[in-house]
Amino acid sequence: MSSSETRSLMVRDLIKEFDAPGGSNRVLSGTSLDAEAGETVAILGPSGSGKSTLLNIIGSLDRPTSGTVHLGATDVTSLSGDRLASYRASDVGFIFQDHHLLPQLSALENVMLPTIAARTGDGADARARDLLERVGVSGRAGAFPARLSGGERQRVAAARALINGPALLLCDEPTGNLDRDTGMQLIELLRELAADGVIVLVVTHNEEQAGLLERRLLLRGGALVSWEARDG
Ligand SMILES: Nc1ncnc2c1ncn2[C@@H]1O[C@H](COP(=O)(O)OP(=O)(O)O)[C@@H](O)[C@H]1O
Ligand SMILES: [Mg+2]
């Protein structure tokens, strides 16, 4: 099964321009990034620097003006049709600032939902229960999102992102709505999840959280540079 293979990520020379009044707005200007299976990488950068744009291109939600993204042997930017749908459904998982859980489904049902698109429904109930246990909310399987705390919702969102066994977990400010301690605990969880071989990219404004991840990169002027905290 392709979903259990470990694969590395290779992002090369991404350029992304958006149409803007009177010309174009160049957001990414030659962005490159490598990550190995099991690696955790923080992506820092000011608001508007292109962090979400970069994650969306890696996750195939957007296309670059030029440049390439490879996950293992797969050339992500050239996918179309069924293969694009399969990449989105099975190879990559997203966690956003807002949990995007469906309010009318229980935590367990929310985690199982992506198995419909990926046609991986056999045994989905047991896999979803295992994942809820893994992310530390097994006691909340039957709860609806409105009854979950902010931290619990993001843990359920993490379980949902992992249900189809992705190689890549893309997290766009996943702790943006959480208090400090809950946010740090979520980052710790993401680290633990990477131990299974998933590549975890985390966009965050929080230098303390970034310090928990293996590598820190700063998106500045459309390119990624290595970043280290001023106070160690
Ligand atoms: N769909 C779009 N159309 C036009 N401009 C966009 C679009 N998405 C993002 N941008 C622009 O690209 C820049 C980077 O946005 P974004 O990637 O959301 O930054 P960040 O996530 O770092 O805050 C911003 O100037 C934003 O206005
Ligand atoms: Mg953003």
Tell me the C-alpha distance between 55 and 46, whole Å.
Answer: 15
CATH 3.40.50.1970 fits 2-226, yes or no: no
Provide the pLDDT for residue 229.
Answer: 66
45: Cβ below 6 Å to ligand 1? yes
Is residue 188 pLDDT above 80, yes or no? yes
List, for residues 193-218, the tens digit of each pLDDT value: 999 999 999 999 999 999 999 999 99
50: Cβ below 6 Å to ligand 1? yes
Nearest ligand 1 atom to alpha carbon 173? 21
Q: Which residues pair with 34 in a beta bridge?
A: 10
31: Cβ below 6 Å to ligand 1? no
Going from N- to C-terminal start, the domains of the chain cover: 2-226
Tell me the C-alpha distance between 104 and 110, whole Å.
Answer: 9
List, for residues 147-174, the tens digit of each pLDDT value: 999 999 999 999 999 999 999 999 999 9
Rounded average pLDDT over 62-69: 97
Tell me the C-alpha distance between 41 and 23, whole Å.
Answer: 33
Q: What is the pTM of this model?
A: 0.94
| Type of residue found at 57 | I
Tell me the C-alpha distance between 66 and 199, whole Å.
Answer: 23
47: Cβ below 6 Å to ligand 1? yes
Top pLDDT among 224 and 122 is at 224
Provide the pLDDT for residue 232.
Answer: 45
Structure tokens at 132: 């809820």
Instruction: Give the chain's length.
Output: 232
Residue spans of beta strands (DSSP E) within 88-232: 92-95, 168-172, 199-203, 215-220, 223-226
Is residue 2 pLDDT above 50, yes or no? no
53: Cβ below 6 Å to ligand 1? yes
Provide the pLDDT for residue 122.
Answer: 86
List, for residues 89-141, the tens digit of each pLDDT value: 999 999 999 999 999 999 999 999 999 877 787 899 999 999 999 999 999 99
Nearest CA to ligand 1 atom 17: 50
List, for residues 3-40, the tens digit of each pLDDT value: 446 799 999 999 999 999 989 999 999 999 999 999 99
